[in-house]
Amino acid sequence: MTLKRIDIGVIRTAYKMGELSEDELRPDPIEQFRDWFEEALEKDVMEPNAMTLATVSSNGQPSARIVLLKDLDDNGFGFFTNYESQKGVELQGNPKAALLFFWPELQRQVRVVGRVSKMSAEQSETYFHSRPRGSQLGAIASPQSREITGRETLSTKLDELEQQYKDGTRIPRPSHWGGYRLHPDRIEFWQGGDNRLHDRLVYTQQGTEWEVSRLAP
C-alpha cells in the first residue's frame, strides 16, 4: 500500500479571533498572564498549563520539552522535576531558560525568558505530597533521562515501592526531586491576526518597572 503524500506547505490556519492593543494590557505582565490563563481555563483549552521549557547544555546545544506550570506568583513561573534529569543538569550549568505557552483555541501564545532558581525544600515538600501517591512513587522509580534496559525496569521498581508503602505510610520526597521557578525579565504576549499581521506586545523589565513595546510579526 502506498501512503498518501501530504503537502505540508498548503496547511494554513486563518487567525481572526481578535486583536491585542497596548490599552488592553495590565501594567504587570504576571497579572496579564493570569487574565489570559483564566480565559484559557474558561474556554476549556486542553492542558492550559502545559508549556515548552527550553534549556541550553554546557556546549551550547538547546533542548526543549513540555512540562506543566504548577505554581505562579509575583516572582514567576514554577514547575517540578527531577534535578538529575537532562533539564536539571542543564539548569545547574546555565540557570537561564525560556518558556512557551501555546493556546490554539484562543490563537494565542506567551513567551517567557528569564533566570531559574530552585524552590525551597518546604515548597517542594508541600507540592510533592499534594500529588497522587502513584505520581509520588513514579518520581522515585524513574531515573529520569537516563538509559534503561526496558519498561519492565520501571514496572519492577514501581511494584517494589508499592509493596514498601502499601500500608499508607507517608512517602518521602527524594532529595533529587523538587521545584524550580523561572523569574522573568521578558514576557511576550502574541495574538494571532488576520493576514499574518499578528499582535506581539513585549514586557521588558527595567529595574523595578516593566516597559511595553510592540514587535512586528
According to DSSP, residue 172 is labeled P
Distance from CA of residue 125 to its chain's centroid?
A: 20
Query: Has residue 2 been placed in a domain?
Result: no
Between 1-15, 82-96, 173-187, the lowest mean confidence (pLDDT) is in: 1-15
pLDDT of residue 2: 65
Statement to judge: residues 159 and 203 lie in one domain: no
Tell me: the pLDDT tens digits for 96-144?
999 999 999 999 999 999 999 999 999 999 999 999 999 999 999 998 8
pLDDT surpasses 70 at 35: yes
Query: Has residue 1 been placed in a domain?
Result: no
Statement to judge: residues 158 and 107 lie in one domain: no
CA distances from 169 to 36, 129, 146, 162, 165 (A): 40, 12, 28, 11, 6
Q: Total structural domains in the chain? A: 2
The single residue of 26, 34, 146, 196 carrying the catalytic annotation is 196
Query: Has residue 193 been placed in a domain?
Result: yes
Statement to judge: residues 80 and 154 lie in one domain: no
Confidence of residue 17 (pLDDT cuts 50, 70, 90): confident
Statement to judge: residues 24 and 64 lie in one domain: yes
Coil, strand or helix at 114? strand
pLDDT surpasses 70 at 3: no
Statement to judge: residues 205 and 102 lie in one domain: yes
Is residue 188 within 8 A of residue 201, CB to CB? The reply is yes
Query: Has residue 5 been placed in a domain?
Result: no
- Distance between CA atoms of residues 212 and 76, nearest Å: 18
Statement to judge: residues 77 and 149 lie in one domain: no
Query: Has residue 195 been placed in a domain?
Result: yes
pLDDT of residue 175: 95
Residue 178's domain comprises: 14-129+173-215
Confidence of residue 5 (pLDDT cuts 50, 70, 90): confident
pLDDT of residue 215: 97
Statement to judge: residues 91 and 197 lie in one domain: yes
Q: Is 181 a catalytic residue?
A: no
Statement to judge: residues 77 and 163 lie in one domain: no
Statement to judge: residues 72 and 157 lie in one domain: no
Query: Has residue 198 been placed in a domain?
Result: yes
